[in-house]
Structure 1
Amino acid sequence: MKKSEIKLIVLDVDGVLTDGNLLIGSNGVEFKSFHVKDGMGISLVRFYGIKVAIITGRKSESVQIRSRELNIDFLYEGIANKEEILYEIITLLEIDLKNVCYIGDDINDLPVIKLVGYSAAPQDAVEIVRKSVDYICKYNGGNGAVREVIDLILAEQADYDVLVENYLSEKIKITQ
């Protein structure tokens, strides 16, 4: 699969956008830590025109807040069947599975990993996932793995330097 055909990037949250640690206070409030470089990459790839979706098995107010900050195109939480949601999104966007990049880290991501045109996993993903993806990141989940994959896709699809110049010249509100 060529990264040049990617039109949609789909992300898991825990272990991909975060380091996988769950911090839950005695009041039940959940805290997550997101990497700003991943956020900047998401902003840049959306500026370029590639859609971004999050499909996660958990529900978290912090994910909702982060998704709004980054203007994520599609957010689905509390999802057991990620494949079903993926089919909904590609139908809505009128694209093919080959146009999808998925980044996941654990066994619940395997069904989607096997469907898409390009798949990646953070360095610290479980072994069975690492064996199943097209690309294993140099970085761990929550530590720049998403940005690494986005940069690879953009490097194949665009003149990266020109893209960055255009992004900065738009003087848009930059969200990391």
Structure 2
Amino acid sequence: MTTINYPADVLARAAKIKLIGFDVDGTLTDGRLLYASNDADAKAFYVQDGMGITLLRHAGIETALVTARNSPVAAARGKELKIAHVHIGERSKLACMQRVAAEMGIGMDEVAFMGDDLPDLATLRGVGLAIAPADAHHWVLPAVHWVTPRYGGNGAARDACDLLLQAQGKVEAILAHGEHP
């Protein structure tokens, strides 16, 4: 089995995570906004990211989608993945993640967040594990603990999920199961 050699401090932070929040545009998507003539938006999601989120759910790690945009497409993706905490049109992502953590009875050191640009900065600074995709804006990079090898919308969220699963000793059980959960 090939694994990424994660930094020890990142693994230590990841081992404590009980909740991870994902920004949508630029993290779960490549950041492009597509509009149809009827003002509907369209987004492309990477299937491996969805599998990673599903694996987290089955491993007992809660997930959240938190986006400032009012996007029915993001809401539909959250529903499809059975994400319990889908927050669309959320202006304060940090306050949202703090509310979800409080509802779960956990501290912010047990929360991870993945974001890619300035609207995510306060949240990245306020969690126990801050993650950014490889193509995140360079202004947010000083606030993150780990940068994924892949770009947003191209496997970056799966990289974050794999990190958590590896740090919490869940990979062997997943591989032993050998099929979709």
TM-score interval, smaller chain: over 0.9
Counting only pairs closer than 5 Å after superposition, residues 134-145 of structure 1 correspond to structure 2 as 134-145=145-156
Q: Deviations over 1:66-98 (max 9, x none)?
A: 111100110111111112211110110000000
- The aligned residue for residue 78 of structure 1 is 89
Unaligned runs of 5+ in 1: none
Residue 87 in structure 1 maps to residue 65 in structure 2? no
Which TM-score applies when normalising by structure 1?
A: 0.92
Aligned-pair RMSD on alpha carbons?
1.3
Q: 1:163 Cα shift?
A: 2.5
The runs of at least 4 consecutive aligned structure 1 residues that moved more than 6 Å come to: none
Distance 1:167 1:88, change over 3 A: farther
- The aligned residue for residue 32 of structure 1 is 43
Query: Identity over aligned residues, as a percent?
Result: 37
2:56 to 31, 35, 45: 45
Q: 1:166 Cα shift?
A: 3.7
- The aligned residue for residue 135 of structure 2 is 124
Greater displacement, 157-166 / 62-71: 157-166
Q: 1:167 Cα shift?
A: 7.2
- The aligned residue for residue 62 of structure 1 is 73
Q: 1:65 Cα shift?
A: 1.3
2-structure distance, mates of 1:132, 1:161: 31
Q: Deviations over 1:99-156 (max 9, x none)?
A: 0110000001010111100011011110011121000111110000000011011111
1:104 to 115, 120, 141: 115
Which TM-score applies when normalising by structure 2?
A: 0.90
Unaligned runs of 5+ in 2: 1-11
Q: Describe the SS at the equivalent of 1:128.
A: coil
Give the counterpart letter for 1:86 in structure 2: M
Q: How many residues align?
A: 170
Q: 1:159 Cα shift?
A: 4.0
Asked if 2 retains the 8 angstrom alpha-carbon contact of 1:47 and 1:167, the reply is no
- The aligned residue for residue 157 of structure 1 is 168
Greater displacement, 41-50 / 78-87: 78-87
